Amino acid sequence: MGFLSTYAQNGGFVKQNVPDLSIGRTDVKGALLHDGSFVVFGGHTPGFLRSNTAERWKEGDTAWTVFTMNDYRDASAIVKIDSFKIMLAGGMSTDLGVGQIQSTEIYNAVNNTFATKANLKVARTMFRGAKLKNNKLLFVGNWYADASQAEIYDVATDSFTLTNNVVHPRACSYVVPRSNNGAVIMGGVGTTGGDIETIELFDYNTLSFSLFRNHLLESDSGWIYNTYHPSGTYFPEDHMLNGKFYFSAYKPLTPAGSQYMIFSLDPDSMIIKPLITTTNLLKYDVSNGDSINFGL
């Protein structure tokens, strides 16, 4: 049985049962649409078979409606263009999570159609994107392949432009837009694994990247944060409040367990701080059988 959880400030979380997906799948990309309906794209089905289908559901529907995309979208990137259009880019080239593709397409929520668009300059998978303030789309990262350069997509001209080299090639990072048309690239994993703590800034005017900080916090290293797990955000603008971006991170503790924390980032001032300072409330010890998992 599928379910959604909704939150109201005066009522807390409410679990709402919804119909099962028409096709069992995991590692999907999802989006809340302009009319309150929800759509999921791609992922892979049992047997690790990549999917080229999407499904849409709205409260009151008794079943999900299935649509066929133009290409397979497992571990692809997804960026909202506006209230009605979503770009899907790249993904795995074969089943079992192997390889990369260059194709892109735009989903139109008005008529549930998919339009093929220009190819990425570099075949990519497990990368992330964001819509910049100037309405250009920035895509960063790759998995087991070249991630030395990011790409800018111009919706008006349907074209991609490679940037200068990033500071640290990575996959599954956070990409957060700034008001100066740039972006913050933070966290993630290396292109063949291993956690990355560094933060770098993207300058749209020069299409270049510069190192901002080696760790999430200046005086405290070891924080791990990425969008590898489904709890990771795909639309930074959906997690902005009063100009700040919110994300979760954790830090392994000695001898066992981890400390979890939710942080806020002001992408313009680049002030990063935890929301809760009573850290003992967010520690657990796996040797005692405790477990925890949360995200935004």
Q: What is the model's pLDDT at position 285?
A: 53
Tens of pLDDT along 100-116? Answer: 999 999 999 999 999 99
Residue that is written with structure tokens 């791609």 in the block: 42
Give residue 96's Cα distance to chain centre: 21
Residue spans of the chain under pLDDT 50: 1, 231, 294-296
Q: What is the model's pLDDT at position 1?
A: 42
Q: What is the model's pLDDT at position 27?
A: 87
Burial class (CB in 10 A: 0-12, 13-18, 19+), 240: middle
Judged by DSSP in three states, 193 sits in: strand
Q: What is the model's pLDDT at position 2?
A: 52
Q: How far apart are CA 148 and CA 28, in angstroms?
A: 26
The single-letter code of the amino acid at 252 is: P
Give residue 143's Cα distance to chain centre: 14
Q: Which of 142, 140, 116, 119 is nearest to 129 (CA)?
A: 140
End-to-end C-alpha distance for the chain, whole angstroms: 22
User: Are 248 and 174 contacting, i.e. CB atoms less than 8 angstroms apart?
Assistant: no
Q: What is the model's pLDDT at position 124?
A: 98
Q: How far apart are CA 94 and CA 187, in angstroms?
A: 27
Q: What is the model's pLDDT at position 295?
A: 47
Question: Is the bond preceding residue 255 a cis peptide, omega within 30 degrees?
Answer: yes
User: Are 211 and 204 contacting, i.e. CB atoms less than 8 angstroms apart?
Assistant: no
Q: What is the model's pLDDT at position 51?
A: 97
User: Are 105 and 152 contacting, i.e. CB atoms less than 8 angstroms apart?
Assistant: no
